[in-house]
């Protein structure tokens, strides 16, 4: 099981739970102690596409979400060409401490953020680089039709959130919990003073909307208000 949930609030987050709005859960207590307007969580059962020993797989270095430089990052899916992408990280390659493909993705996004200065553009250009590298490396992966299986990415800073929905599939399987929802389709909902994005609906209450695939969402808390924009991507 794996779910990413991110909340961006118009003002510094209160003690509300990400999922059920209860005041006593761990996410609620963490939010109450923080000055940030964005909270990102990623409870998951660790996948093991590389067949690693459990002692390497279950470790602090491989624990999500990943964070550095005031950024927090989480990803749903599997990047099959993580070694090729890591080889292009430049100075950030040394910052990769674990064996997780999402950590490689995080530092790739940090590299793109350095180059382009925009969180949304950083996610978009990371996807573009992956697809470009795939052109010259696909022969190394004869059993793969694409360089990834799912590339839903969430990138958060103190007052901004960028979400990339991209989980291509010829036949979408059902999501883990909510009936009638496709696996890999990012959900979002606007509430009174916050926006919630989740890799699938985080509760059974109404109001969840589907992001398109591929699509980029960018939200910013500024002046006590939330600014939200969506942009379809062409692949």
Residue range 44-66: mean pLDDT, rounded: 59
Domain spans, the chain? 5-232
Which residues are within 8 A (CB) of 18 and not within 5 positions of it... i.e. 6 or more apart?
5, 7, 27, 28, 31, 39, 41, 196, 202
Lowest mean pLDDT among 52-56, 87-91, 150-154, 206-210: 52-56
Which range scores top for mean pLDDT: 25-29, 58-62, 202-206?
202-206
pTM for the complete prediction? 0.85
pLDDT band at 109 (very low <50, low <70, confident <90, very high): very high
- The Cβ of residue 11 has, within 10 Å, a number of other Cβ atoms equal to 12
Sign for the pseudo-dihedral over CA of 212, 138, 73, 114 = negative
Which residues are within 8 A (CB) of 48 and not within 5 positions of it... i.e. 6 or more apart?
57
pLDDT of residue 178: 74
Q: Quick check: helix, strand or coil at residue 68?
A: strand
Show the tokens assigned to 193. Answer: 């003073």
Residue range 109-113: mean pLDDT, rounded: 98
Across the chain, what does the average pLDDT equal? Answer: 85
pLDDT of residue 43: 65
Lowest mean pLDDT among 27-41, 91-105, 110-124: 27-41
Q: Quick check: helix, strand or coil at residue 105?
A: helix
Show the tokens assigned to 165. Answer: 């929905």
Distances, alpha carbon 1 to alpha carbons 18, 39, 46, 194, in Å: 17, 20, 8, 26
| CATH T-level topology, domain 5-232 | 3.60.20
pLDDT band at 26 (very low <50, low <70, confident <90, very high): very low
pLDDT at 147 over 50: yes
pLDDT of residue 186: 96
Q: What residues does 154 pair with on adjacent strands?
A: 74, 163
pLDDT of residue 33: 47
pLDDT of residue 13: 61
pLDDT band at 174 (very low <50, low <70, confident <90, very high): confident
pLDDT at 5 over 80: yes
pLDDT of residue 208: 95
């Amino acid at each position: 099981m794996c779910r990413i949930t991110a909340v961006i609030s118009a003002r510094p987050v209160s003690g509300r739970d990400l999922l059920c709005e209860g005041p006593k859960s761990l996410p609620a207590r963490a939010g109450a102690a923080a000055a940030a307007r964005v909270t990102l969580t990623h409870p998951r059962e660790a996948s093991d596409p590389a067949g690693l020993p459990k002692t390497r797989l279950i470790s602090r270095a491989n624990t999500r979400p990943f964070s550095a430089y005031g950024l927090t990052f989480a990803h749903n899916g599997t990047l099959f060409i993580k070694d090729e992408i890591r080889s292009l990280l430049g100075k950030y390659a040394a910052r990769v401490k674990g064996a997780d493909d999402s950590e490689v993705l995080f530092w790739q996004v940090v590299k793109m953020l350095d180059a382009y200065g925009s969180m949304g553009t950083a996610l978009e250009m990371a996807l573009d680089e992956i697809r470009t590298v795939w052109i010259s490396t696909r022969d190394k992966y004869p059993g793969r039709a694409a360089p990834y299986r799912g590339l839903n990415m969430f990138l958060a800073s103190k007052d901004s959130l960028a979400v990339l929905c991209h989980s291509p599939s010829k036949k979408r399987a059902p999501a883990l919990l909510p009936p009638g929802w496709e696996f890999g389709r990012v959900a979002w909902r606007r509430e009174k003073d916050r926006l919630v994005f989740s890799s699938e609906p985080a509760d059974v209450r109404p109001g969840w909307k589907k992001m398109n695939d591929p699509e980029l969402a960018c939200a910013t808390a500024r002046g006590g208000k939330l600014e939200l924009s969506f942009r379809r991507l062409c692949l």
